[in-house]
Structures are given as structure tokens and as C-alpha cells.
Chain A
Amino acid sequence: MKHCKFYSRLLSLLLFSSSILAVQATPWDDLSGEQLEQQLVDKFAEGKYSPKGADNCLTCHRKNETVMALFSGVHGNIASSDSPMAGLQCEACHGPQGQHNRGGKEPMIAFGADSKLSAPTQNTVCQGCHNDPEQMAWHTSTHNLEEIACADCHTIHAATDPTLDKLSVNDTCTSCHTQEKADMNKRSSHPMKWDQMTCIDCHAPHGSMSESALVKPTVNDTCYSCHAEKRGPFLWEHAPVTESCVSCHNPHGSVNDNLLDNRAPQLCQQCHAADGHASRVVPEPGMDAFGGGKSCLNCHSQIHGSNHPAGSLLQR
């Protein structure tokens, strides 16, 4: 629920900051995205930067709290030689001022939900500096192909970017990934709703070279990074475990215990029908060793693999 509170706060921040910025209709409101981009491209090539940098911009914008919040964060760090403030300052990201300050008739490069500029074009601004291994797979990532803008998740004009804070990164992801948000509240789930774990413990939001943008090369490698006791290799393996942990588990959450797609014995009986023992009818739980306690795992407890020489049936 605190997640939603976060959205409301974020929404209010965005709405009010945008309402302050766009309280009056701007002359470029009527331009289409393409027309706006073309105008900005021309302006960018022309390179008419302001004579005094940020001081020119802040002549008008200094009363805007969102604008001034930049100076609380790393992008407004005037002491750093790597910050935009050491170079073109505001115009490093928002483009050359041109005639913008002459009655506000020229558009600037703007970011976020209200910007008409396409996400890939907005992102070129960020990528101009942020070209490091974390973004190596960005261009082929789902987020890029879905045209997600950096500013959809990241907040630059703030002391702390919510995506860089362990206590708010899950909120950022689940503002779009609503099914996964619901999954956190199921009977079993990873401890996400209390922010003990975060989405980015397993997934790389900038894309990765693994399936589902996982941080490790395979599903199992990702799981093993916290569940190393299941890595083995074991003398006696359980084939679907070796193949993929998601053969049986749903890592986002389940109405069953232990993130299982189904509970035992039914889950086990979807693959095991060796004889009347494995495939016997278990009509009620709690009546015998087949349905009571840990069901099939009462005996086959080493379900992830056994290292006992006599453990081929994963019993010991």
C-alpha cells in the first residue's frame, strides 16, 4: 500500500511541477511530435547557447521548486567536474536556449510524461553521457523497444532519484508492472512488499543479455545467487530443477506456499505416474503420508537434488 502512496506522491509531484511549468499554454503546444523534434534539431544544430548558462535560465525558472531541486542531486553538483553544471549546465540536457527567453516562443528539450518528444529522442540526451556497461544491452532491451524514456523512471531534479533508493525502486517498477505488484501480496512471494528484496536484485531495468532481462546468464544462475545450496551439481539431479527453477516455481508469487505453481502431491503427479505409488489417488490431505505434512516431500525431501550415494530417489 505504501507503493500506491508513492505513486500518488509522484503523480502529485509531476502534476504540480508540470502545471507550474505549463500553467500557460506554450506556443509549441500545437506542434506535432515530429514538428517539435524538427524544430529542436534545427535549434540544436544552430547552437545558440545562452551567454551566462544556468543564470540565464534561472532568471525565470528559479522560483520553481522542481527546477531548483536539481541542485540537491548529482546532476546539479556544481563542484563536480563530471556534472552537467561543469559544462553547458541546464542547456547540456535541455538544449540551446536560442530565442526561448524572448517571450518563451521557442521550445526546449523537455522530458517526462508531458513531453511530446519521442522517448528514443529524449533518451539520446541521457545516453550522451551515460554510456557504461549497465546500459550495454539497452538498445535491444524490452524497455527501449517499448519506447520507455529514462525520465519515466528516473527523476533528475531531486535529492535522491527514487530508482537509486532501495526503499522506492520497487514502487517505480510496479507503477507499470501491476501484475507483479499484485503477485507480491500472494500467499507466498519473495519479500518484495517490505522492500527487503528489490526487482533489480534479479532484473536489469536497462536490459541484459539474458532472458527476461535477468542479471545472470540463466534463470537458474539468477536463483543460485541467493539459493547457492541448490546449485550443486548434485550426484542425483532432479531433471526439471536442472532445466529451470521456473519449471515448478513462480518467482513473482503464488497462491501456494514456496512459490509453487501447484502444491504437492498434484504438482508432482503432473510428471510422475510410475505406478500406483506415485500416481495413486490422494483424495484428502492430512489423512496419510501421501497427503499429510509435506506430502510427496515427506519421503522425497531432497527435491532439488541429493548428494547421498543411495539418494537416487531424492529421499536422503
Chain B
Amino acid sequence: MSFKLNLITLSLLAVSTSGMAANFGVGQANTTAVDTQKYECKRCTNVTGYRGEVSVAAGYNDVSDIHAGNALGTAKDGGIAAVSGDVHYQGESGYQARIQAHQLGMDNGFAHLSGGKAGLYEFSLDYDAIKTYKAGDVESGLWHNDGMLTPSDSINIFDLAQRREKIGLGFDYGQDFYGVFVNYSQEDKTGHKSASLVSPSPINFGLPTDATTKQFDAGINFSGQNWLTELSYFGSVYENHIDHLSLPYANDVYSADPDNQAHQVALSGQYNIGRTFMNGRIVTGRMIQDDNLIQMTGNPLQNWDGQVDTLDGRFALTSMVTNRFRIGGSVDYSKRDNKSSTAEFAQYNFNSLTGAFRQNTPQDIERNTYKINASYRIASGYRLQAGYDRKDVERTFSDREQTNDDNLWLKFNVRALDKVNFNLKAEHANRSGSDYEVNELTSSENNALLRKYYLADRTRNAVELKVNYSPINWMSLDISTRYAQDEYDDTQIGLTESEDYGYDANLNIAFNQHIDGYVFAGQQWINSNQAGSQSFGPADWMADVEDEFINLGAGASYSGLLQDKLTLGVDYLFSNSVSNTDVTAATTNPYGDYYSYNHSASMYADYALNEQMALKLTYRYERYFDTDAANVGVNDIPGMITLGDINHNYNAHQVMLSFTYQLR
């Protein structure tokens, strides 16, 4: 402030601020009496040069199932090695840089390099590798070569695993009132994923994947004292290098994911007047897909002009009316306008009605969402919040062209007590909409009693309670519990009811500067009921799905050994996912085993050789089991071929010794 404050203005300010929120932003500071030229910063630590750490690790993996590679960073069985590190550079003139690497040399790892002048410009270079293992040594009688799947008596053994490798470049630059950014990234995805074709009976096979996704983003922003605006562009291009697949005796039995691209231009902004803040955005986008269509009798088009135009808009506002009362709301609009060309295409049928033609149905979707919310501080540390949300959706070519969701919610937060915080949330929601009609364009033969769950009338009630308890300054306990129920009262065929409830508890202990630990436990149950009809009439069978999940963990570390040079630690995690289904027609049948569990444990000893160097020995153990009764032998089911029993049951071990060098 350029004017001098006297006692009168000071007291006026004090009175006026009782009704206004404080703003301690440095731009608001009264610096009339400040002379920063006198600041010498003699006691400050000038951290220039390099600091951080670099570590080299080598060890041994005992892996019998490649699935263990997900948890252990690599599926390699035998000797493994990796380089990690996090090094910062600080120059005298304000230039700074950072290199971070994690597990380079393993299947999963990343590297990040950035540099620039703080607050002015920065460039970045990123490398990310993620390999996801589904199953190893999968057997198939089909061999892929250049779009041809050739059956053979010799078994094709491959891994169901996909590797993503991404390289990104970024640059941003900013001055007082404006900034610009440009990012480019390219991700290659390769491997095999599980797929199936019909010829005319089903054959499960490993679909080779080899695709590239390129992304380009750029934007420019301007800002002032109480406003901010940005104009940005996001573009993404997907290229699939695998073509349609054929069998020697049947052409093009499996169409490839088509090349496609998407572009979006967004204009967004924020503005505030006093304690009222508003923001908004308009995004216009286009998705294009005009790959060549497979040429066949009954296809009138060479290539299809697939185009979807999107428009998304939003305006939101929040205002502190008084120090106790806040009110806010938002309006969202989202339109998906499918402008793709339509034509009639001959369809294969497996009954006597061969040669039927069907027209594609490009669906438009329009959403309007309105939200209002209010928050009132009843007393210091007691706050009540309430809100109402409404979402209207209109869609074409659907069994139900309009749906509307109403949602009323209430939250009560208590932070007034010394050692305990409470957060309670309750919600009541209801979905209804236009008449539910069996649409001849989408499902000419659907059961009139069916209500698809994502369109059906639904009542939802939910409640959640979170408690944080800190009885002493070295212990913190968080407990949360929740219950939600969905009822589909008008549904006779389809999903009729579901409930989801559970709890979790997390205890964290920092006993002293040498000892810390944690324990956590959580369980969740999701139960749902559905009804079906194989007589194309009223419900004549039911399915009762009961999902259950348990998650337990504990760990501790102790750093006070050998004159504080040695740190010992242990961690353990157990989780068990179960889905039990009972199908009841004339009798009740349990629908086979479907569960998975894992025990993950690790132990480490970290020894500081001196100020700069440390050695760390880590042992990791992974026990994993999953089963799905649907996974059976390759030829166990007459008339179809599967990928075999791809369930998992393994113990995996990893021992790593790492050497860390500290740069100071």
C-alpha cells in the first residue's frame, strides 16, 4: 500500500475485517516501512550445486509366474539390476534442474528431467515404462503373421502382457501477466491381450497389440489482479499398427481398433469480486475416425466418416456471504453430437434370417447438470453443508431417451474437539425419466420387463462417517465407515437391488524419532440381486452376487541402531477379493469359485557407511493366488477353444542390495 496508515484507518480496517475474510497474500502486505535492501540473509543456507542421491541396485528375482512382475517391478527370473536417483541442481543465477529416475533397467520405471529458471521458464523430458502382466505361457493354436491367424498343431506359447513406453517433452514460459505451455508425448503400446473371435464357434486368442498414441497440448494464459484466463488446445492421434485379422478360411473375422484422432479447444477463466469467485469454461471438440472399412458384400462404403462433435460448458460460482455462510452452485452442459454417416450394412446371422441388413445408429447425448450448495458454520468448529444436484440426460437411439437424477446431500463436520474430528455425510438420490420403451433400433427383441440399470428408475440412500482420533501427539487413528443402497423398484428383469458397505481403520504411530509404525484394516461388502427370464416373459431365474473384500496391513521401522546408522523396517499387506454368485432357477447353484488373495511382505536393513554412502538390503515376498472357474483347459468346452487355465498360484521372492551415494 502506498498510503500511510494512521490509527484511524487501522481501527477502521479492524472493524471492517470482522465481516471479511483475511487475505494474507503478499500482494496485500503493508510494506511502507520495509526496506528489503537491508536484508543480507547471512543466516540463510545457500544451497547451490548438486544435492540428492543416486543409487545402484542389484539382486535376484525368484519368479515362477510372470504375473509377479507387476509387484516386483520386473518379471525376469534371475539376476536383476536397476538405477534410481533424485538429483537437484541449483545454480547461482536462479537456474535449477532436477533428474529423477526410478528403477531404470527394470520393466517398470521412469525418468524425469526438468530444468529452467524458477518462475520464468522450464523444460521437461519424461520417460515412462509400464508393463502389465496378465498371464504367462498362454497357449493358443493360432499363430499371427501380418494379419493372418494360422491354425497349427504346434502350440503358440506367448505372454498376455502389455508394455507402454512413453516419451514426453514439455516447455513452459511465464512472465508477469502471461504464460505459455507446449507439451508433446508419444506412447507405444505393444504386447498381447486376451480376445476372442467367432468362426463360427468361439476361439479365444492372444490379440497382438502394437499401437502409438501421440498427444500434443498447448496453451496460453493471461492473468490480472482478480482474473485469470487460458486458451488451450489438446490433440490426440491414435495409430494402430495391427490390421484386421483373418483366418485362412475366413477373411476379416476380427476388425482392428481403428486409427482415430481427437481435438479439443478450451477457453476457461476465473474472476473474483471480493469473496465471490466464479469460473467457467467452454470446450469444443471433435473426434474423427475415417479408417477404411473392410470391403465385403453388403457394405456400401469404402470408408466411413465417423465424426463426433462435442461441446462442453460450465459456469460455477462460490461466495462467502458472511464469515459463517457460504453459498455456491454450478451449471454444466455437455453435448455429444454424433455426425457420423449412416448406411445399411449386411449382417451375419446364425439363424435362418441370413442376409439381414442393419443401419448404424450414431448416438447423440446431451447432459445438463445443475448444482447448488451451501455451508454454514454453526459455531467455531461445527459446520453444516447441504446441496442439491440435478442431472438431465437426453440420448437418441435408446430405450429411455431422457433420464434425470436428483441428489440431495448433507454433511456435518465437527472439528471443535481437541482430539477428535467427525465428518458425517448423508445422501438421498433418485433417478427417473421419460417412458421406458423397448427401442426397435437398439433392441427389437428385448424383454418388455427389462430395465437396463444405467437407465432404470433408481433410489439411492447413502451415509458415511469419518472419525479422526489423535489421543496423544504420536498417534493418529482414522476410522471411516459407509453404507449405500440402490433400489431399482420398477425393474423386474435386470439389476433390482444393490448395497455397498464397509469400513476402514488406519492407525499411524510415530513413537519417537526412531520408531514409527502403522496398522490398517478394512472390509467391504457389495451385494446385488438381479433377475432374468429365459422364457422371454416374467422373471424365471435370479442371481445373487455377493462381493467381499478384506485388506490388512502393518509395518514398522526402527532407526536407532548402531549409533543411528542402521535402520530396520518391515511391511506386510494382505488382501482378499471374493465374489460369490448364486444362480437360482429351479434350484440354487453356486456359480463357481472366484477369488484372489495376496500376501506382500518386505524387510529391509539400511546401513549408513558414512555421511555420503549407504547400503540397503531388501527382501520382498509376494504370495499370489487367484481363481476363476470360467478359466478351463483349452479344449474342455465342446465347440470352443479357450486360452487355457490362466489362473495364478505362485510364491515370488526378490532380494536386492543397493548402494546409495548422497550428493550434498
Contacts and interface: CB of A to CB of B under 8 A. Distances in A.
Given A12-B513, A12-B516, 14 more contacts: A15-B474, A33-B380, A54-B43, A74-B118, A124-B22, A136-B279, A269-B532, A271-B453, A281-B585, A285-B628, A288-B639, A291-B591, A294-B202, A307-B293
B370 to A, nearest CB: 13
Interface string B309-334: 01010101110100100101010101
Contacts of B197: 301, 316
Interface residues of A, number: 163
B380 A286 contact: no
Interface in A251-290: 254-257, 262-263, 266, 269-276, 279-289
Given A242-B365, A309-B293, A127 B130 contact: no
A121 B36 contact: no
A102 interface: no
A157 to B, nearest CB: 12
B322 to A, nearest CB: 13
B287 to A, nearest CB: 6
Contacts of B238: 228-229, 231
Interface string B558-602: 000000000001011101011101010100010110111010101
Chain B interface mostly? strand
Nearest to B239: A228
19 contacts: A7-B506, A11-B476, A45-B14, A124-B23, A128-B23, A140-B317, A166-B102, A166-B112, A182-B522, A209-B268, A210-B312, A217-B312, A235-B293, A271-B452, A279-B534, A284-B629, A292-B636, A293-B202, A294-B630
B110 A166 contact: yes
A46 to B, nearest CB: 7
B100 A279 contact: no
Contacts of B25: 124-125, 127-129
Nearest to B17: A41
Contacts of B630: 263, 285-286, 291-295
B94 A79 contact: yes
B254 A316 contact: yes
B294 to A, nearest CB: 6
A87 interface: yes
Interface stretch (B44-52, B55-63, B148-156, B609-617): B44-52
Interface stretch (B136-144, B429-437, B547-555, B651-659): B547-555
Contacts of B219: 133
Contacts of B88: 159-160
Interface in B256-271: 256-258, 260, 262, 264, 266, 268-270
A310 B213 CA distance: 27
B43 A274 contact: no
A21 interface: no
A170 interface: no
Given A127-B25, A284-B592, A72 B10 contact: no
B183 interface: no
Contacts of B310: 217-218
A297 B51 CA distance: 54
The 5 closest A-B pairs by CB, nearest first: A128-B25, A82-B119, A47-B30, A12-B510, A139-B277
A299 B47 CA distance: 63
Given A80-B117, A236-B360, A299-B196, A40 B24 contact: yes
A182 B29 contact: no
A279 B413 CA distance: 47
Most chain B CB neighbours (cut-off 10 Å) among A38, A92, A229, A263 = A229
B406 interface: no
A1 B553 contact: yes
A229 B213 CA distance: 9
Contacts, number: 577
Interface in B179-226: 179, 187, 194-198, 201-202, 204, 211, 213, 215, 219, 221, 223
Interface string B605-632: 0000000000000000000001011111
A16 to B, nearest CB: 6
A41 B17 CA distance: 8
Contacts of A11: 474, 476, 508-510, 516
Contacts of B642: 292-293
B82 interface: no
Contacts of A221: 262, 264, 285
Interface in B431-453: 442-443, 445-447, 449-450, 452-453
B211 to A, nearest CB: 6
Contact of B48 (A79, A312, A313): A79
A132 interface: yes
Interface string B60-77: 000000000011010000
Interface string A299-316: 101100011111111011
B18 interface: yes
B28 interface: yes
A166 to B, nearest CB: 7
Contacts of B100: 165-166
A59 interface: yes
Interface in A210-243: 210-211, 217-218, 221, 224-226, 228-237, 239-240, 242-243
A58 B44 contact: yes
A4 B555 contact: yes
A185 B573 CA distance: 9
A202 interface: no
A181 B552 CA distance: 12
Given A179-B504, A310-B347, A233 B338 contact: yes
A85 B100 CA distance: 26
Nearest to B579: A255
B529 to A, nearest CB: 10
A57 to B, nearest CB: 8
Most chain B CB neighbours (cut-off 10 Å) among A32, A197, A255 = A255
B127 interface: no
B562 to A, nearest CB: 20
B579 A263 contact: yes
Nearest to A68: B45
B40 A289 contact: no
A178 B395 contact: no
A47 to B, nearest CB: 3
Nearest to A71: B45
Nearest to A16: B513
B461 interface: no
